[in-house]
Amino acid sequence: MDLAPLFLPKSLAVIGLSTSNEYHPANVIFNKNLLRYPVRSYAVNPKGGTLNGEQLFSSVADIPEAVDLAVIAVRADFVPSVLQECIDAGVKSAIIISGGFAEAGKNDLQQELTEIAGRHNFPFVGPNCLGLYSPTMVDTFFLPTERMVQPPSGDVAVVSQSGGILVDLLVKFAGEGVGVSSAISIGNKALIREIQLLEFLTSDPRTKVIAFYIEGFAQNEGRDFVRFARTCGKPVIVLKSGKTKEGSRAVSSHTASLAGDYQVFSSVLAQHGIIEASNENELVSYCEALSCYPNTRTEGNVGIISGSGGHGALAVDACISKGLNVPPFSQPVQKSLQAALSESIRAIASVANPVDLTGSALEIDFVAAVEQFCRIEEIDCILLLMLPYLPGLSSDLGARLSQVYRRFKKPLIAYVPHVEKYQMLIEGFELNRVPVASSIESAVCMTRVLRRCRPC
């Protein structure tokens, strides 16, 4: 089953536009792709005619070119016949955003879709989903553009059963500067499921990291997913809901999924080196770190540099609580560190790990400390707590410290408060592929995932 037309469509047919409701999901999808994306977009309504100056085709078969992707947004009872029309017209793939199938107790209607597609080896996503967002290419989310917060193009792919969770994750990715290659909501996953998407994304050159929000699997499906994820060659991150009995009930009513035994699933993920995030924030942090360091694995020995003793102490506590080590430095190492610092702070800086350069530190002190950390064998990851308001620092420091990383290749993770005033400093890191967290806790999560990561 070829999923390329789904992810990389050159032509798009939106089926089910309304001539009276401009906020109908089909209208929203058609208008945003027509006006904002390069995909050639066609509108379909059985009555034909025109809408806002654009031709309405009465059938997908009337469209004058081969269609890569059809978005079906009609009443559930009509979907099987529309799906068959798409297949007969040579459409290559479909997204069914219509609801009212297994999640509403209509299992037979959903099974009819699967059987139609199966007979023709025709790929479709859904039903009951948002579909696909691929930066600069296509967006089938039925959400107005002015209300969307969209991350830039990047190398993280996100697959979610829940459209709402997916939109939330994209907002968080945008806030953290994490770029995505594609984001896909699969809803009831009647045909295309996680395993097929994992197979496609494994071979997708645009994608380095693959993240999943999963509500449940069919019988034995979870085992196959884990087996493939273990050997796929890219980091795979999983966020699972339905961890409690009550959560399992909510999952079943949402997309008619079986949540299964969470403790068993979580243990299997850990045994096979697949990364599990406990919440959305962890997932975003893990994606950012692995996007920058997809093939890096550490032993979890962390060196911490800060301009504030309080920040360093909080970071130590967070590291220890996450199972990381913050080894104290030997006297010879401390003397080397101290000697590398400027004379103005040499007598007042603490160099035992965490290193507190104090609020009097100059830019050259942070550069010197990072260079020294790169030479210390006892640590395999550097956690840098940047306080941009210190008087001796400039907005160029992120770029300068990134150059040190580029020379030594010891993974560097920075914490910088994410406010507009510090954006230039943040960009100095990000442009050089150094991850930047907006909180100490997030920075520690990024550090932790480098230890947990087993390139699958």
pTM: 0.92
Check residue 23 and give its pLDDT.
93
Task: Name the CATH superfamily housing domain 149-292.
Answer: Succinyl-CoA synthetase domains (3.40.50.261)
Q: Quote the DSSP letter at residue 210.
A: E
Check residue 213 and give its pLDDT.
97
User: What is the CA 370 to chain-centroid distance, rounded?
Assistant: 29
Contact 179, 135 (CB under 8 A): yes
**CA torsion, ordered 155, 456, 282, 158, to nearest 10 deg:** 40
Per-run averaged pLDDT (10 residues), the chain, 456 residues: 96 97 96 96 96 96 97 98 98 97 96 98 97 96 91 97 96 95 97 97 97 91 92 95 63 50 86 92 97 94 97 97 96 96 96 96 97 96 95 94 96 93 93 96 97 57
Fold for domain 1-128? Rossmann fold (3.40.50)
Fold for domain 296-452? Rossmann fold (3.40.50)
The vertex-10 CA angle with 8 and 15, nearest 5°, equals 100
Q: Among the residues of 341-438, which ranges form H helices?
A: 363-375, 397-408, 423-430
Give the C-alpha separation, 11 to 138, whole Å. Answer: 10
Give the C-alpha separation, 423 to 340, whole Å. Answer: 29
Check residue 200 and give its pLDDT.
98
Angle between helices 280-292 and 440-452 (to 10 degrees): 60
Distances (CA, A) of 125 to 142, 193, 249, 435: 15, 8, 24, 33
Contact 96, 125 (CB under 8 A): yes
> Domain locations in the chain?
1-128, 149-292, 296-452
Give the C-alpha separation, 147 to 296, whole Å. Answer: 37
Rounded to 5 degrees, φ, ψ at 201 are -70, -25
Equal fold, 1-128 vs 149-292: yes
Check residue 254 and give its pLDDT.
45
Rounded to 5 degrees, φ, ψ at 394 are -120, 170
Check residue 299 and give its pLDDT.
95
